Structure 1
Amino acid sequence: MHGTQTLPVGRVRDGALDLLKWLALLSMVLDHLRYVGLSLDGLYVPGRLAFPWFCLAIAANLHRVKDAPVTGQWRYLGWLLLFSVISEVPYRMFIDDADTLNVLPTLALGLLVARGWQQKALVDRGLAIIALAIAAVFSTQLMFGFFGVLLPLAMLLVFSRPWYFSVLPGVVCVAANQWQVLLNSGSPVAMLGLATCLIAPLIGLVMLRHAQNTSPPPMRRWAYALYPVHFLLLLLLRKFIA
């Protein structure tokens, strides 16, 4: 691609966005397979794609409906909050030593921040400021922390910038992924994980632009249930293996 192109500025087809969501879900499952009792540490690397691609999906949805009625976006937030609560018990059942909430509260706050930047209404700006304050105060309790909450906004900014600006969400993604711990580790898996965080936004944006002819099964509201259900299925797998 050339420097004069932007990523992407037009309306994104549902097929490309659904493909992104399915691949993000696959990356998440691969990441969580590390906890079933097998030696699968290498799955940490493809697992680093999941969170930035879910954030990119949020940004893509906001970009597509920026001039549409707001009711759909409030519904989007409501589903995220509902399954944040539903998912917490399965999440903690599967991740025994979890020291953060599940990922959905981070995504919900990130949606509010990105929407507050996009919309001019006072209520949207106010909710964005509240979300930022919550992220700052409770950063250690949120999966991917304060920078994780900023990532959907960083993704949204890239939609109207030349493609090489994807380094911005890449750096935010690295900051959200315990980069100090990974650097101190110095292991090949840790270094590959950092590199994956850096390039994940660009890969996702290129996919949205060039996978327009794909037609995977559409992800509808039922897909929210896949998050808590996959924890329960992996928990059953771990018990079977044990």
Structure 2
Amino acid sequence: MPDPILTPFAARRDGALDLLKWLALLCMVLDHLRYVGWSLDLLYVPGRLAFPWFCLALAANVARAGATAREGAGQWRYLGWLLLFSLLSEVPYRLYIPDPDTLNVLPTLALGLLVARAWQRRGGLALWLGIVAALLGGLFDRYLMFGLFGVLLPLALLLVLQRRWYWALLPGLLCLAANQWESLLPAARQGSQVAAWAMVACVLAPWLGLAILRRLRGVSPPPMRRWAYLLYPGHFLLLLALRNLLA
């Protein structure tokens, strides 16, 4: 019997995958509430779940598309939407986040999608685009949110998607590396509970995400469709309005 995670999109809607996306969105909003003007440093911890869960959702989409006999035209549309909203989100991102030193997260996800598809297809245009994406991730590591490690995280999650739960600890370490462990580790050693729990969240995030996909297949949250791309730039604008009201 085929794994439901790999069942083609047209055959069924994966409620657990939609739930994972909603939870990732919630964690992202909680993380960004830290910049609204309140003292909410503790929200940094659930915020560490957002990016790996978005990467896991991306990896699951790549795996499900690869289970079909088609070349995966939907994956190219997926890439197109990521690139489009990468551009549309940059201004709201920079208006809301104080002194950002990287681009918004969508370019990292777009490059990660190309790398994951290159591994899955292992030939043709997809392979060459994946190689270019990995090279760009390395060259522009300092400008990408979560850097090269973030670009490689969707591939790592794709590789462990159908393995036993303990394999998820490997992308967990990659997630920790993508989250400035050089700052988190010294802070945790100096007694920062936020830093310590953030490190735990990074390591366990892929395992928790896989548990959601495998254990909660019977749930039926509202499906997250293309309109959901608007939520990324939109939440920056809403939080910016809230901050201006509180000022």
Question: Which residue is equivalent to 1:99?
Answer: 101
Give the percent of matched residue pairs that are identical in Structure 1 and Structure 2: 64
Choose 58-67 or 216-225, whichever is displaced more. 58-67
Choose 78-87 or 11-20, whichever is displaced more. 11-20
CA distance in 2, matches of 1:15, 1:9: 10
Alignment of 1:36-51 (within 5 A): 36-51=36-51
- The one-letter amino acid paired with 1:157 is L
Instruction: From 206, 218, 221, give the equivalent of 2:226.
Output: 221
- The one-letter amino acid paired with 2:35 is Y
Q: Per the alignment, in what secondary structure is the counterpart of residue 212 of structure 1? A: coil
Alignment of 1:16-31 (within 5 A): 16-31=16-31
- The one-letter amino acid paired with 1:94 is Y
Distance 1:107 1:182, change over 3 A: same
Q: Structure 2: where are the runs of 5+ without partners?
A: none
Question: Which residue is equivalent to 1:234?
Answer: 239
**TM-score, scaled to structure 1:** 0.95
CA distance in 2, matches of 1:169, 1:185: 22
Q: Structure 1: where are the runs of 5+ without partners?
A: 1-6
Could you tell me whether the CA contact under 8 Å between 2:5 and 2:60 is conserved in 1?
no
Q: CA deviation at 1:64?
A: 0.9
CA distance in 2, matches of 1:79, 1:93: 22
Length, aligned pairs only: 236
CA distance in 1, matches of 2:34, 2:46: 11
Could you tell me whether the CA contact under 8 Å between 2:5 and 2:64 is conserved in 1?
no
Q: CA deviation at 1:67?
A: 3.5
CA distance in 2, matches of 1:10, 1:58: 13
Could you tell me whether the CA contact under 8 Å between 2:79 and 2:110 is conserved in 1?
yes
Could you tell me whether the CA contact under 8 Å between 2:37 and 2:243 is conserved in 1?
yes
Q: CA deviation at 1:163?
A: 1.5
1 or 2 for the larger relative contact order (CA 8 Å, sep ≥6)?
1
Question: Which residue is equivalent to 1:54?
Answer: 54
CA distance in 1, matches of 2:127, 2:98: 37
CA distance in 2, matches of 1:114, 1:64: 12
Distance 1:10 1:78, change over 3 A: closer
Q: CA deviation at 1:32?
A: 0.0
Question: Which residue is equivalent to 2:151?
Answer: 149
The Cα offsets for residues 68-118 of structure 1, whole Å up to 9 and x where unpaired, read as 322100000000000000000000000120000000000000000000000
Question: Which residue is equivalent to 2:87?
Answer: 85
- Structure 1 residue ranges (4+ consecutive) displaced by more than 2 angstroms after TM superposition: 7-13
Question: Which residue is equivalent to 2:123?
Answer: 121
CA distance in 1, matches of 2:113, 2:220: 26
**TM-score, scaled to structure 2:** 0.93
